[in-house]
Amino acid sequence: MKRLIETIRNIFKIEELRKRILYTILIILIYRFGSFVVIPGVDPNQLSALQRSSEGGLLGLLNMFSGGAFGNASIFALGIMPYITASIIIQLLGMAVPYFQRLQKEGESGRKKLNQIMRYLTVLIVVVQAPGYIKNVLVQLPKTAVTPFDGVHDPSLFFWISSVVLLIAGTLFIMWLGEKITDKGIGNGISLIIMIGIIARLPGAFAAECGTRLNEGGTGLLILVIELIVLFFVMVGTIALVQGTRKIPVQYAKRVVGNRQYGGVRQYIPLKVNAAGVMPIIFAQAIMFLPITIAGFSQSESLTGFASAFTNINGFWYNLVFFLMIIAFTYFYTAVTMNTNQMAEDIKKNGGFIPGVKPGKKTAEYLDSIMSRITLPGSIFLGIVAIMPAIVASLMNVTTGFSHFYGGTSLLILVGVVLDTLQQIESHLLMHHYDGLTKTGRIKGRVGRM
């Protein structure tokens, strides 16, 4: 405790770090305030039905990532997810389209062009998603015989147009807030906003779970303690997954340039156990939502029955296919992002070699075999983390809202962003010759950022 108090004092002694933290807190407060600003024309007193419909399934996930704004019919209802969807599309295009590959290699100018394209794509995605969300609001709000849409004062064409414009502006404003946190705050703004949205749902979900267990008496209290212990071990395992690496030794030969000597030392290449990060879960989850669409548009009873077997997010077949797809996507995404041929070429150009392995093609094959070996346990554990909400919901009957925090995208984002934020703070402390946040070693960030 004494060390923690001393560390907090050191943080506020550094003027730049203090300003960045306070600025970040201010931006977060603005974001949370906007989550409760209801779309004009919607009666805020009639939102209970919409909030109940946003407690489970796909809508529950969207509501969690938006920090409850989805269920509040807020101007921030669509949150930052359209931007995340656009960034995923840009990443996929960067793997297949030469134009985007060139932009990725052009440095700062290419990054600016990609960001501009990403913004336009975000607007396009919101334009597509916003009418569907407004339609859902009109369907979920209570109706009476006298007033078809009692929760909306005047569902006219003007209401539709103004609501779509506000939802677009809300998403773009959240993007701007995230960029401000990255530039003037403690960094990694988009991911931090997503994390804040997830954390905002945690107290309510935990309170609901506690209320359910306490109503069951002594047995319920024991089950609650077991749930918290399981959550602790799942979180520890997720931290190990995010930080896990395999170090490959690289020996550099001595070189003499002029009067200076270079090389002659051994360094290590850290290969991540989970080099794909959270992307395999996002890809697999996007595909697993297709049966819901098929069931909605199909008139065939057999096809609808087949699709309905994969719409139960706690069902066996849904989670088995989900688990296998995550393993497959982990290998795919790792193979795309980790270019072992380029790594081998860079080692060779810098006069290095892996002891016992010939430079060039043999080095690339060796690195590829190592990546395949360490990716397997990483992908299996990633799949377990992804289906953990269904496991705890089935075995321990955990409420839907609280079960989301046991795994899936939410837990990986929470762990990754917290580690990144602590790493940012620690780097400022060490730069100003203060002790870091840990007694020994350094805090490792996650694999990649949103």
Amino acid at 398: V
Pairwise pLDDT comparison (274 vs 409), residue with the higher score: 274
Task: Report the domain count for the chain.
Answer: 2
Question: Could you tell me what percent of the chain has a pLDDT over 70?
Answer: 79
205 and 156 in one domain? no
Rounded to two decimals, what is the model's pTM?
Answer: 0.74
Indicate left, alpha or beta for 262 from its phi (over 0: left) and psi (-120 to 50: alpha).
beta
The answer to whether residue 78 is domain-embedded is yes
Give yes or no for residue 437 having a pLDDT over 60: no
42 φ, ψ (degrees, to nearest 5): -100, 130
Q: Return the pLDDT at 217.
A: 72
313 and 397 in one domain? yes
Report pLDDT digits (tens) over 90-142.
877 877 788 888 887 777 788 888 888 988 998 998 888 888 888 877 777 76
Q: What is the average per-residue pLDDT within 369-376?
A: 87
384 and 236 in one domain? yes
Stretch (H or E) spanning 111: helix 108-140
Of the pLDDT bands very low, low, confident and very high (cuts 50, 70, 90), residue 339 is confident
Give yes or no for residue 297 having a pLDDT over 50: no
The answer to whether residue 2 is domain-embedded is no
219 and 173 in one domain? no
The answer to whether residue 194 is domain-embedded is no
CB 276 within 8 A of CB 308: no
The answer to whether residue 196 is domain-embedded is no
285 and 167 in one domain? no
239 and 173 in one domain? no
Of the pLDDT bands very low, low, confident and very high (cuts 50, 70, 90), residue 145 is very low
169 and 224 in one domain? no
216 and 182 in one domain? no
Q: Return the pLDDT at 449.
A: 46
The answer to whether residue 192 is domain-embedded is no
Q: How many residues does the chain have?
A: 450
Q: What is the CATH number of the domain that holds 73?
A: 1.10.3370.10
E-assigned strand segments in 146-253: 245-252
Indicate left, alpha or beta for 68 from its phi (over 0: left) and psi (-120 to 50: alpha).
left
CB 264 within 8 A of CB 283: no
Q: What is the average per-residue pLDDT within 208-217?
A: 81
Of the pLDDT bands very low, low, confident and very high (cuts 50, 70, 90), residue 147 is very low
Report pLDDT digits (tens) over 154-193.
677 888 888 889 999 999 999 899 889 888 888 778 888 8
Instruction: Give dist(CA 386, CA 22) in Å, integer.
Output: 34
Chain mean pLDDT for the chain: 77
Q: Return the pLDDT at 146.
A: 37
Instruction: Give dist(CA 270, CA 356) in Å, integer.
Output: 18
| Closest C-alpha among 129, 198, 136, 141 to residue 170 | 129
> What is the Cα 50 distance to its own chain's centre?
25
Q: What is the average per-residue pLDDT within 385-403?
A: 80
341 and 278 in one domain? yes
Report pLDDT digits (tens) over 243-280.
788 888 877 666 555 556 555 567 778 888 888 777 78
Domain ends where: 187, 222, 249?
A: 187
Max Cα–Cα distance, the chain, nearest Å: 92
Q: Could you list the residue range(s) of the whole structural domain that residue 403 is in?
A: 201-438
Domain ends where: 148, 164, 187?
A: 187
DSSP-derived 3-state class of residue 74: strand
Distances (CA, A) of 50 to 37, 47, 60, 185, 377: 15, 5, 11, 34, 41
The answer to whether residue 55 is domain-embedded is yes
410 and 301 in one domain? yes
420: Cα within 13 Å, side-chain hemisphere? 21
Eight-state DSSP code of residue 152: B
Tokens 């909400």: give the residue.
Answer: 389
The answer to whether residue 295 is domain-embedded is yes
214 and 274 in one domain? yes
Alpha helices (H) in 310-403, listed in sequence order: 316-337, 340-349, 361-395, 400-403
Question: Could you tell me what percent of the chain has a pLDDT over 90?
Answer: 4
Of the pLDDT bands very low, low, confident and very high (cuts 50, 70, 90), residue 448 is very low
CB 252 within 8 A of CB 264: yes
The answer to whether residue 22 is domain-embedded is yes
Q: Return the pLDDT at 148.
A: 46
Instruction: Give dist(CA 170, CA 166) in Å, integer.
Output: 6
213 and 128 in one domain? no
Instruction: Give dist(CA 209, CA 403) in Å, integer.
Output: 9
